[in-house]
Structure 1
Amino acid sequence: MAETINLKTRSGLAFTTDVDGPVGGPLVLMLHGFPESRHSWRAALPVLAAHGYRAVAPDQRGYSAGARPDPADLSNYAFDRLIGDAIEIAGAAGYDGKRFHLVGHDWGGQVSWGVAGAHPDRLASLTILSRPHPQSFRQALLKEDGDQKHRSRHHRAFLEPETAKLLLADDAKRLRDGLFGQGVPSAALEDHLSVLGTPEALEAALAWYRSNKGLAADIGTISVPTLYVWGDADATVGPDAAYGTAEFVKPSLAMEVLPGVGHFVMDQAPARTTDLLLAHLAKHPV
């Protein structure tokens, strides 16, 4: 059964983390996206544990109250620090210097691409949900006849100083109706808001966008065996960016398209996604 612990890293940050599975089993580190939380992985943790994996799902920098440096200083949320957190969390979980499996959704996917680019030797496998490779995303944004710029229009709003207040107004109506309006169950929504539904947490989460404008990080071709899962009803990631990801993963990319599923894959299709993840992990043991 999953338990919630605080993992303190070498940088002095304490991450609120759900863990399940045998201590010493192959590590599966799972990084959530925005505007979600460690609860994204609640369906996957017990299944991974039953298969002998040590599943570790933290609330990331800014989401965890103990890992929330001042968001007014955007350098605290620079991309290299987010990448460093993933490596340090693996170390704090008992896997310092050891290879592990990495799973990321949305912003957690962006960080996971960064980890795979900077530390390929540490990863046995990479699984990305929704978030295309950053170079593919950049190409899609630049297409004159493409729709990715329209799909990503909310990113510009996230840079405005009043955004957190607007998103939390009227019992977080804009978060509930806008960002979660893709078939996310109400129970999952409440779990995420229990983490993100305060001005302090939301300002820190938005600092990820403000510190890393454009989201097109300079990440080259990924050599880690990669599973990319995309729902074809994703309102924020279009087919150009999704299918273009194959150009930037060599030699091993497996892409799975989930019909009728939107952006929040683990909240909408947890069983199917977890099955795909398990099969990928089995093909690429630590």
Structure 2
Amino acid sequence: MFLRAFTDRRRGLVVGAMLIAGSGCATPKVESPVTQAPPPPPPAEAPAPPPSPPAPVPPQVPGVRLIQSRAAAVAAVGYRGEPDTFTKIEQPTIRPSTATPGATLSFTARYTVLSADDRAVPIIRETRTLVYGGERLLDLPSRDVPFAQGTSSVEFDIAIPPDAAEGEYRLDVTLSAGGDKPAAKATVAFVLSVPRPAPAPTPPARAIIKHAFVTAASVDLRDGPGPEFKALARIFKGMPVDVLEVTSTTEGRWYRVQLITGNEGWVPETATGAKP
């Protein structure tokens, strides 16, 4: 009986399984959940490069003024980085071109200064020498000038010694960079002249009325037309005189005459004549 019951139970399980299979209902399929990987983190940004420091600005130097940029000067002279520091002097002028000892002259020129390093501020040594008669006369104070790269207008004064001799002089200006070897040179000439006093003006020629001679044996040359005036000199017969003026007085007519010596005075008309 126990065996039959077990068999029946088994059959029931089989029948139940068949019923389930024949019902057309599929056994639900359980899918395993798909785990998605998290997105990768964004790449770290490269740090920005530090900003370039501003280009150095040269200190202002009296008499030096930038008039052309580095780019324009490079194009004008065709600079390609050689030599390391390039200098050039153009349009040297000195005014006035004629002066007197002790005068102050003004020198002007255009200096072009360039460097292979476009951010550099070149230090240029400027040397000035006065030359007289082909010989070095005087070394004027030199100076070290920081130049902005490009072309600059340069102006400075030159005091001429008060005891300088008369004649033609020359001013030599040289520029040196990174040593004593001159990199650029300019020469300009001027003349010193010693002023001379102006000649005294020539007195206007006296209008001569006529030429005459002393006909009296002798007569006093007086400082006025009349016997009451002071006698300046005694002149004698035959002396030529030039009559410059005629005046009438109560004593008669008087002539203002000039002698051949240049002296002047008055004599009575009666003491002169056309012939000695």
TM, length-normalised to structure 2? 0.19
Q: Would you tell me which structure has more strand in proportion to its own residues?
A: 2
Q: Would you tell me which structure has more helix in proportion to its own residues?
A: 1
TM, length-normalised to structure 1? 0.18
Give 1 or 2 for the bigger CA radius of gyration: 2
